[in-house]
Amino acid sequence: MSGGDAFSHFERHEIDKAIRDAERGSGRNFYVHVGQSAGDSRRTALALHGSVAEPANSILIHVDPTERTLEIVTGSRVRETVDDRHVALAGLSMQTAFEAGDLTRGLLALIQQLAQLARPVRSLHTETP
């Protein structure tokens, strides 16, 4: 997670814990970036996502507190279970918390929601010989 001075030590610890829990529960990689966008926030988020170790299996959350923007980028394997509608709905709760001035609580809720959605679908079918 990157975020500069946007969070207290305790808040950073809680967000880092939420990321670890989300990764463990979903098998996906989570990244959170809180900071100014270099121009367009969507382009910044896409560039950040493209620079992570395994973009296809990753979810990147980019928040620009100055511009009050939220961008969520999902990799191709993540999109097998999480579509744009899911991302938009999860983002609404973050936006609400963001507008109320509670960035930490919003991030925690967003990470948890995305982790639940991003779990790979398990097949209930078995092959018989």
**Strands of 58-64's sheet in order across:** 29-34, 58-64, 69-74
pLDDT in tens, 37-70: 989 999 999 999 999 999 999 999 999 988 888 9
Cα 50 to the chain's mean position, in Å? 14
Give the model's pLDDT for residue 1: 53
Domain 9-117: give its CATH code.
Answer: 3.10.310.50
Q: Spell out the domain ranges in the chain.
A: 9-117
Enumerate residues 6+ apart whose C-beta is below 8 A from 92.
Answer: none
pLDDT in tens, 77-98: 999 999 989 899 888 877 777 7
pTM, to two decimals = 0.87
Over range 23-41, report the average pLDDT: 95
